[in-house]
């Protein structure tokens, strides 16, 4: 043992036991290094530090390639440092060279999920199976321990939307990092929240009659558009939003423009209606 049972030196004789077999119970991160290698001297202490920080998230195994050339050849190590992650006896992920601390952290976050990440992944599987209530319970457990856990925030929003509780999704969406909120998934969820809520207080027939009697009633048109989109009558709803943009003196800041953009997010960039209505919107804005 090097320092602890989670930070070890490995050689040809102990490799099968300490790496291949143990990786069936816990991920084993193997640092192939060599004496006199400056990048190895930079990366090695950083890996030690991150292993200690993450406790029992993974075993860190060190292999001196100058003393164990057969292992280096077997696993295709041509330059050092080379870091390989073993799971169930196989190389699951890897990188070469001395990454920055941020780069190594990003690698670990992607390759070795934390206990909370694993819980959120389990909840995601339940959500995909339609077990919304159980998934919501697990996402809530994760968020009690980490209120900004992105995977669980996204999952909880999905649960609430699919349980008819769009209004309750707003606080969770507000906790998303800006980068996530502006991602394709974030924009889709924001659009689903917008068109799943309770903006429409009147039935569609009454709203259509109100718009017919008073075509300049933009509030009624917006409500009608929301109601139509909520009922998946997308083209009809988009027509109402487009007419709001036409009639609004401040078209660039029009509520109709913002609603149309949310419909684009809802349908996705490859949808035929998006291809049809995006140029129509541009023609009004830039005419």
Do 7-111 and 204-285 share a fold?
no
The pLDDT score that the predictor gives to residue 3 is: 57
Q: Is the pLDDT of residue 178 over 60?
A: yes
CATH of 115-196, one of 1.10.150.120, 1.10.3720.10, 3.30.420.40, 1.25.40.10: 1.25.40.10
The pLDDT score that the predictor gives to residue 4 is: 66
Q: Is the pLDDT of residue 14 over 50?
A: yes
Token pair 């291809």: residue = 275
37 is catalytic: yes
CATH topology of domain 204-285: 1.25.40
Q: Higher confidence at residue 196 or residue 138?
A: 138
- pLDDT of 101-143, one tens digit each? 999 999 998 898 888 988 999 999 999 999 999 999 999 999 9
In what helix (H) or strand (E) does residue 96 lie, and over which residues does it extend? Answer: strand 90-96
Yes or no: say if 159 and 136 are a contact pair by the CB < 8 Å rule: yes
Q: Higher confidence at residue 109 or residue 213?
A: 213
**What is the Rg, in whole angstroms, of the alpha carbon atoms belonging to the chain?**
27
What 8-state DSSP symbol labels residue 175?
T
The pLDDT score that the predictor gives to residue 1 is: 40
pLDDT band at 208 (very low <50, low <70, confident <90, very high): very high
* Catalytic-role residue among 8, 29, 40, 153: 40
- pLDDT of 34-80, one tens digit each? 999 999 999 999 999 999 988 778 999 999 999 999 999 999 999 99
Q: Is the pLDDT of residue 2 over 60?
A: no
* Domain ranges within the chain, ordered by starting residue: 7-111, 115-196, 204-285
pLDDT over 70 percentage in the chain: 97
User: Cα separation of 98 and 229, whole Å?
Assistant: 51
DSSP string, 161-173: HHTT-HHHHHHHH
pLDDT over 90 percentage in the chain: 83
40 is catalytic: yes
CATH topology of domain 7-111: Glutaredoxin (3.40.30)
Backbone angles phi, psi at 82, to 5 degrees: -130, 130
pLDDT band at 199 (very low <50, low <70, confident <90, very high): low
The pLDDT score that the predictor gives to residue 200 is: 55
> What number is the average pLDDT over the span 225-235?
93
Q: Is the pLDDT of residue 198 over 60?
A: no
The pLDDT score that the predictor gives to residue 5 is: 84
Residues 169-196: b if buried by 16+ CB within 10 A, e if exposed = beebbebbeeebbeeeebbebbbbbbbb
- What value does the mean pLDDT of the chain take? 92
DSSP string, 215-264: TT-HHHHHHHHHHHHHTT-HHHHHHHHHHHHHH-SSGGG-HHHHHHHHHH
The pLDDT score that the predictor gives to residue 12 is: 95
Yes or no: say if 262 and 191 are a contact pair by the CB < 8 Å rule: yes
* Catalytic-role residue among 7, 37, 46, 188: 37
């Amino acid at each position: 043992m090097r320092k602890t049972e989670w930070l070890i030196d490995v050689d040809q004789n102990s490799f099968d036991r300490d790496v291949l077999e143990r990786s069936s119970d816990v991920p084993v991160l193997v640092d192939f290094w060599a004496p006199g290698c400056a990048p190895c001297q930079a990366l090695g202490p950083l890996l030690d530090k991150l292993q200690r920080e993450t406790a029992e998230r993974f075993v860190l195994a060190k292999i001196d390639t100058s003393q164990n050339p057969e292992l280096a050849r077997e696993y295709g190590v041509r330059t050092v440092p080379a870091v390989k992650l073993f799971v169930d006896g196989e190389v699951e992920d890897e990188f070469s060279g001395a990454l920055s601390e941020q780069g190594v952290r990003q690698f670990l976050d992607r390759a070795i999920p934390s206990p909370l990440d694993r819980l959120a992944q389990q909840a995601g599987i339940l959500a995909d199976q339609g077990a919304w209530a159980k998934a919501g319970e697990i996402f809530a457990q994760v968020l009690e321990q980490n209120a900004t856990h992105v995977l669980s925030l996204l999952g909880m929003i999905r649960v609430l939307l699919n349980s008819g509780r769009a209004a309750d999704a707003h606080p969770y969406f507000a906790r998303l990092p800006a980068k996530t909120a502006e991602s394709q998934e974030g924009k889709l969820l924001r659009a689903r929240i917008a068109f799943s809520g309770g903006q429409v207080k009147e039935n569609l027939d009454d709203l259509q009659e109100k718009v017919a009697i008073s075509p300049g009633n933009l509030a009624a048109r917006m409500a009608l558009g929301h109601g139509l989109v909520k009922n998946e009558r997308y083209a009809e709803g988009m027509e109402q939003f487009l007419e709001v943009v036409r009639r609004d003196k401040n078209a660039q800041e029009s509520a109709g423009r913002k609603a149309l953009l949310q419909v684009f997010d809802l349908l996705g960039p490859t949808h035929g209606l998006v291809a049809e209505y995006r140029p129509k919107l541009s023609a009004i804005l830039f005419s």
